């Protein structure tokens, strides 16, 4: 007698019952859950908000540059406020994935929490 449990795996990697069940679930065509629909709506709303915030930055920064040029009496264009389009696109590209990544991680954590509450421990044998 000891305080250890010895488990012997008799199936190959990717061939167990659990692996077949995971493959079945991943390949199934199903309707989207209300949580997935809500996530899509939230991501769409955040994307629109980011566009509404980032697009007006260009004319506002351009106006500020012109004002500073006139105030200082400069003749050369002043390009220090990031009014070029690639900078604004980079800002947008940085904002949107961080939101998606944060929301997807939260959903993954919630799913794992629900699985752990049901005492389910699973690991796919993908390598």
Q: Residue 32 pLDDT > 60, yes or no?
A: yes
How far, in whole angstroms, is CA 23 from its chain's centroid? 24
Rounded to two decimals, what is the model's pTM?
Answer: 0.50
**Residue 102's pLDDT band (cuts 50, 70, 90):** low
What's residue 64's pLDDT? Answer: 86
What's residue 90's pLDDT? Answer: 84
88, 50 contact by CB (below 8 A): no
Taking the C-alpha atoms of residue 117 and residue 8, their distance in angstroms, rounded to an integer, is 26
Q: How far is CA 88 from CA 19, 44, 115, in A?
A: 45, 19, 41
Of the CA atoms within 13 Å of residue 80, those in its CB half-sphere come to 8
Q: Residue 126 pLDDT > 70, yes or no?
A: no
């Amino acid at each position: 007698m000891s305080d250890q449990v010895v488990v012997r795996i008799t199936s190959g990697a990717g061939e167990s019952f659990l692996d077949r069940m995971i493959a079945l679930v991943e390949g199934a065509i199903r309707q989207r859950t209300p949580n997935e629909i809500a996530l899509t709506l939230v991501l769409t709303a955040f994307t629109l908000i980011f566009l509404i915030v980032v697009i007006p930055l260009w004319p506002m920064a351009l106006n500020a540059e012109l004002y500073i040029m006139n105030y200082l009496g400069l003749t050369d264009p002043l390009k220090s406020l990031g009014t070029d389009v690639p900078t604004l696109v980079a800002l947008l590209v940085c904002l949107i994935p961080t939101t998606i990544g944060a929301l997807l991680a939260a959903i993954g954590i919630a799913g794992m929490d629900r699985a752990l509450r049901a005492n389910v421990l699973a690991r796919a044998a993908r390598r």
